[in-house]
Amino acid sequence: MNAKLKIFGKGILDVSPLMIPVVPFGIIFGVIGMELGIGPYMTFGMSIIVFGGASQIVLLQLFSGGASSLVILSSVGAVNSRHLLYGAVLSEHLSGLKLIWKLIISYVLVDQAFAVSNDYFKKNKRNKIKHYHLLATGFTCWTIWQVSTFIGIVLGSIIPEELGLKFAIPITFLALLINDFKKFKNVIVMLVSGLIATLGYNLIPFKAYIIAASLSALLVATLLTNLNKK
Amino acid sequence: MHWSLIIYCGLITFLTRFSMIALLKKDTFNKKTKIVLSYVPSAIFPAIIFPLIFLDNNGNLDLENNPKILAAIVAIIVGYLSKNILATIFSGLISYWFIIFFK
């Protein structure tokens, strides 16, 4: 038991620095949920049920724009498709676990937990209880996210709309891309996606601009990858 | 907003994460697919970012006198140079507030 606690503690320590940007993001989500008139219960319910920053923001954004459920769901799916990338990496370490563990870990597996625990897994391949590390990083993220959403909900009814906190959404997503700004091909893919979404916002029916733009940009990414091969 | 919509979004998010742990094997994707998948954030996030910056509340293109564009440029420069997520977010927000305050 002590060994498990020790690994759990290490997980909390390892993921802590990454929690700093999560706090403002969670607060912003809570504030925006209130500003859009979703109400405190549903805003908090989203953080509990969905537990994914990007999914939740896309849900709020498209819902307030009047998109249909089908478009909202497929857009959330598109945003989550980045998780498939991690699959090839993580399954190697977790394939021996019982189903219940896989279910619990799937609920708390956010980008930050993945990044930190995957590093730990690589260094401790033979450790039989290494999944406690991921459990710790995941639940640390979960706790911080719920607390900051709650703070945002409380502040949301106080903060005036003129402050334009909605601008925090594009800025937060922009900050998630900073490591790709220096890669020329990534910048092309970003511009394709952004321009199609902006120009297609009114032209593409059913508010499907996020899906249309992402798919077109991925197509360009595929073409760029092929070009590199020749 | 219906609770059912929130629950479905939760299910989709959960299932993509679950599938990556439970279903995928190490060699499910070949090297090329992995390279393409590495572009997924670059392909998706700008589709959320650009309309929020360049369009006004009515969905019309707003290029003149738009403080969001200037603030986003500041954030991009800070992000490019610092590679720091927090610095990027705060530089963008603070320059935005600065611009709308003095406009």
Assess whether A138 and A42 both reside in one domain. Answer: yes
Assess whether A114 and A204 both reside in one domain. Answer: no
Q: Using a CB-CB distance cutoff of 8 angstroms, which residues of chain A are in contact with residue B8? A: 69, 73
pLDDT of residue B19: 82
What contacts B38, CB < 8 A, 6 or more positions away?
A: A85
Tell me which of A163, A185, A213 is where a domain ends: A163
Assess whether A225 and A113 both reside in one domain. Answer: no
More confident residue, B20 or B18: B18
Q: Using a CB-CB distance cutoff of 8 angstroms, which residues of chain B are in contact with residue A164? A: 96-97, 100
pLDDT of residue A205: 82
| Angstroms from A6 CA to nearest CA on chain B | 24
Low-confidence ranges of chain A (pLDDT < 70): 1, 85-89, 228-230
DSSP structural state of residue B61: B
- Judge: B50–A24 Cβ closer than 8 Å, yes or no: no
Assess whether A63 and A133 both reside in one domain. Answer: yes
Assess whether A189 and A84 both reside in one domain. Answer: no
Return the residue of B nearest to A96 by Cα: B22
pLDDT of residue B11: 94
In a domain, A39, yes or no: yes
Token pair belonging to B43:
């392909």
Assess whether A146 and A87 both reside in one domain. Answer: yes
- Separation of alpha carbons A65 and B2, rounded Å: 15
Token pair belonging to A50:
């969905």
In a domain, A87, yes or no: yes
In a domain, A172, yes or no: no
- Judge: B21–A76 Cβ closer than 8 Å, yes or no: no
Tell me which of A131, A163, A195 is where a domain ends: A163
- Separation of alpha carbons A202 and A219, rounded Å: 22
* Phi, psi dihedral angles at B64 (to 5 degrees): -95, 140
Number of residue pairs across A and B with CB atoms under 8 Å? Answer: 266
Token pair belonging to A183:
């890669």
Token pair belonging to A180:
């790709």
Assess whether A119 and A144 both reside in one domain. Answer: yes
pLDDT of residue B28: 65
- Judge: A50–B9 Cβ closer than 8 Å, yes or no: yes
In a domain, A169, yes or no: no
Tell me which of A163, A195, A221 is where a domain ends: A163
Q: Using a CB-CB distance cutoff of 8 angstroms, which residues of chain A are in contact with residue B46? A: 177, 190-191, 193-194, 197, 213, 217
Interface TM-score (ipTM) > 0.95: no
Assess whether A197 and A154 both reside in one domain. Answer: no
Closest CB from B16, B24, B27 relative to A80: B16
pLDDT of residue A10: 94
What is the number of residues in chain A? Answer: 230
Q: Using a CB-CB distance cutoff of 8 angstroms, which residues of chain B are in contact with residue A52? A: 13
CB distance A192 to B96 below 8 Å: no
In a domain, A171, yes or no: no
Assess whether A45 and A144 both reside in one domain. Answer: yes
- Estimate to the nearest angstrom the gap between the alpha carbon of B19 and the chain centroid: 23
- Residue-number span of the structural domain to which A205 is assigned: 177-229
Assess whether A10 and A119 both reside in one domain. Answer: yes
Assess whether A40 and A83 both reside in one domain. Answer: yes
Token pair belonging to A18:
């990454």
| Angstroms from B64 CA to nearest CA on chain A | 16
Closest CB from A21, A186, A222 relative to B86: A21
In a domain, A41, yes or no: yes
Q: Which long-range contacts (CB under 8 A, 24 or more apart) does B1-6 make?
A: B1/A38, B1/A42, B1/A63, B3/A42, B3/A45, B5/A59, B5/A63, B5/A69, B5/A72, B5/A73, B6/A42, B6/A45, B6/A46, B6/A49, B6/A50, B6/A59
Assess whether A157 and A202 both reside in one domain. Answer: no
Q: What's the pLDDT tens digit per position in B19-73?
A: 877 776 666 667 787 788 788 889 988 998 999 999 988 888 999 889 999 999 9
- Judge: A50–B6 Cβ closer than 8 Å, yes or no: yes
Is residue A32 less than 8 Å (CB to CB) from chain B?
no
Q: Using a CB-CB distance cutoff of 8 angstroms, which residues of chain A are in contact with residue B62? A: none
Question: What are the domain boundaries of chain B?
Answer: 1-30, 39-102
- Judge: B88–A185 Cβ closer than 8 Å, yes or no: no
HSE at residue A203, side-chain half, CA atoms within 13 A, is: 9
Is residue A80 less than 8 Å (CB to CB) from chain B?
yes
Q: How far is CA A208 from CA A202, A204, B3, B8, in A?
A: 10, 6, 22, 18
In a domain, A214, yes or no: yes
pLDDT of residue A81: 78
Kind and range of the H or E element at B30? none
Q: How many domains does chain A have?
A: 2
What contacts A168, CB < 8 A, 6 or more positions away?
A: A24, A28, A32, B89, B93
